[in-house]
Amino acid sequence: MASLEQYQELVAAMQNLTAEVQALRTENIALRQQVVLHRDDRGDLPAMPLSFGKYDGHPGGLKDFLDACNVYFAFRTHAYESAKSRVGFIIANLIGNALAWATPLVARNDLSLNDYDRFVEAFKDKFDRPEVFYSSLEAILDIRPNLHIPLPEIGG
């Protein structure tokens, strides 16, 4: 049976370990903040959140979304060298119908997740439907014929 002195030594040791764990947690948080606040080894700024927003599957918005992603990839080439990282970035910036479309691809580990061009083609097949955008716009104009809306160019 342990004596009172041995028990007190164990309690003291546990208190020391608890203090060390807390110190390591604090150091970990500080290191994470440094990673975010400082440039990486290549002199690039850390990854920043998208300023152009997430894509929800709205017809007519896909081209702008993909163009913005490609500009982002061009400035962060080392971070998005692989097709999988570019596809992952796009999926991470989807919401609504677009995310609902991509979720089963991730769940079944679809081959297109490893092939950027293949993924983008499937993405465009599903969401790049300017005819839906223009038919919606025509319906709006039928309701409000004096409404002046500049029409975006198709293609690109």
Half-sphere exposure of 68 (CA within 13 A, CB side): 15
Residue at token pair 């995310």: 99
Check if the beta carbon of residue 79 is closer than 8 Å to that of residue 85. yes
Check if the beta carbon of residue 144 is closer than 8 Å to that of residue 74. no
pLDDT of residue 14: 85
Half-sphere exposure of 16 (CA within 13 A, CB side): 6
pLDDT of residue 31: 63
Full pLDDT tens readout for the chain, 156 residues: 678 888 888 888 888 888 888 877 777 666 665 554 444 444 444 454 555 678 898 877 888 899 989 988 988 888 888 999 999 999 999 999 999 999 999 999 999 999 999 999 999 988 887 654 445 555 555 565 555 556 556 554
Closest CA to 68 of 87, 83, 54, 82: 54
Structural tokens at position 15: 């208190």
Q: Cα-flanking dihedrals φ and ψ of residue 93, to 5°?
A: -110, 25
Q: What is the spatial distance between Cα 141 and Cα 149, in angstroms, rounded to a whole number? A: 9
Return all residues near 141 (Cβ < 8 A) that are at least 6 apart: 147, 149
Check if the beta carbon of residue 61 is closer than 8 Å to that of residue 124. no
pLDDT of residue 9: 86
